[in-house]
Amino acid sequence: VTDTTLLAFDWGTTSARVYRLGHDGSVLDRRSAPLGVLHVRDGDFAAALRTLAGDWIDIDAPRIASGMIGSRQGWLEAPYVPCPAALDTLAGGIVRTPGGELMIVPGVTCRDAAGIPDVMRGEESELAGAVEAADGRVLAVLPGTHSKWARIEGGRLVDFATYMTGEIYGALIGHTILGRLASPPQASDAPPGTGFVRGLERGMGAGGLMHDLFGARTLALAGELAPTDVGDWLSGLLIGREIRSARTAAQRAGHDASQVLLIGADALVARYAQAFAHFDIVARRAAADAAARGLWRIARRAGIVRR
């Protein structure tokens, strides 16, 4: 382990990952644990760090983290830095825990035209890993409980918007009448059924979302949507509507929205890839381990890692 230049922590709300990085920033090894911020007992983050790192705790290399570990509920708050945010901006906002155990990258905030704030924490590091300055203008999408759409120009995060798509799906299927005619949820990694594409089409229409959602009930009531398709239809509706809204917003900002960069690797990201293909939007997939790559770039910029 003498080839380690950095230990990079992607430390979120429910889970945490640590990467051991080599001299060129490549991922030599990785570990993970269900030790997200919500699961750390008694606020003893130092103990959680030791559990997560295991014997890597003895490696003589700097440690850097991103994600909810830097929130008010985390180890130490790393105040949000504003957009536009370059690598320098992120590097300049790094904070260090009192005992020197960990450096933490700040989240980013921006405001829309109406002055309403938006925030991200963790995604800024994934973006730093997935997009290089030479990529020019990029519209990046990070699907999730709270999907993020980010506009990047020359490696600077210009602005971004959060869509609560994943969390709204869960609340609707679990806690409204829409879930009552749905069959028990399929495994989250099951490929979407035919209901998904029908929902996507509805989602790309111009109706009001709070009305369109009701279709998940009425189609099922009318026998025109199978109980096993209700969840997929709803998922398609929400993802389709997210894409329509975000594309419109990007176009208003003068950004080409016919191509996107899709960041992530789970079943949800595969759904988004299918949705983009359905609507003839070219979705390039980012390389894996974007967070680790981004943390390495930020650490280098901050002078934490030297080549």
Window 8 to 37, contacts with its own copies (CB under 8 A): none
Interacting residue with its own copies among 48, 238, 295, 302 (CB under 8 A): 238
* Region from 1-9, 84-92, 117-125, 277-285 binding its own copies, contact rule CB under 8 A: 117-125
Cα 51–57–62 angle (5° rounding)? 125
d(CA 212, CA 226): 17
* Region from 1-9, 89-97, 164-172, 182-190 binding its own copies, contact rule CB under 8 A: 164-172
Residue 207's alpha-carbon distances to 173, 210, 268, 291, in angstroms, are 20, 9, 24, 37
Report CA torsion sign: 112, 118, 121, 122. negative
Window 55 to 114, contacts with its own copies (CB under 8 A): 112, 114
Contact letters for its own copies, residues 194-213 (x by CB under 8 A) = --------x--x-xxxxxxx
Q: Is residue 174 a contact residue for its own copies (CB under 8 A)?
A: yes
Interacting residue with its own copies among 168, 197, 226, 265 (CB under 8 A): 168
Interacting residue with its own copies among 124, 159, 229, 242 (CB under 8 A): 242
One-letter amino acid at 272 equals Y
Q: How far is the CB of 234 from its own copies (least distance, A)?
A: 12
Closest CA to 89 of 99, 79, 100: 79
Cα 91–143–266 angle (5° rounding)? 100
Q: In what order do the strands lie in the sheet with 147-153?
A: 156-163, 147-153, 137-142, 259-262, 282-285
* Region from 96-104, 183-191, 240-248, 295-303 binding its own copies, contact rule CB under 8 A: 240-248
Q: Is residue 171 a contact residue for its own copies (CB under 8 A)?
A: yes
Neighbouring-strand partners of residue 140: 150, 261
d(CA 42, CA 48): 10
Q: Is residue 253 a contact residue for its own copies (CB under 8 A)?
A: no
- DSSP assignment letter at 135: G
* Region from 34-42, 46-54, 98-106, 236-244 binding its own copies, contact rule CB under 8 A: 236-244
Interacting residue with its own copies among 3, 44, 224, 256 (CB under 8 A): 224
Two tokens at 38?
């919500």
Interacting residue with its own copies among 90, 161, 268, 292 (CB under 8 A): 161
d(CA 290, CA 189): 21
Considering CB under 8 A, how many residues would be counted as binding its own copies?
46
Chain positions contacting its own copies, by CB under 8 A: 112, 114, 116-119, 146, 161-165, 167-168, 170-172, 174-178, 202, 205, 207-215, 218-219, 221-222, 224, 238, 241-242, 244-246, 248-249
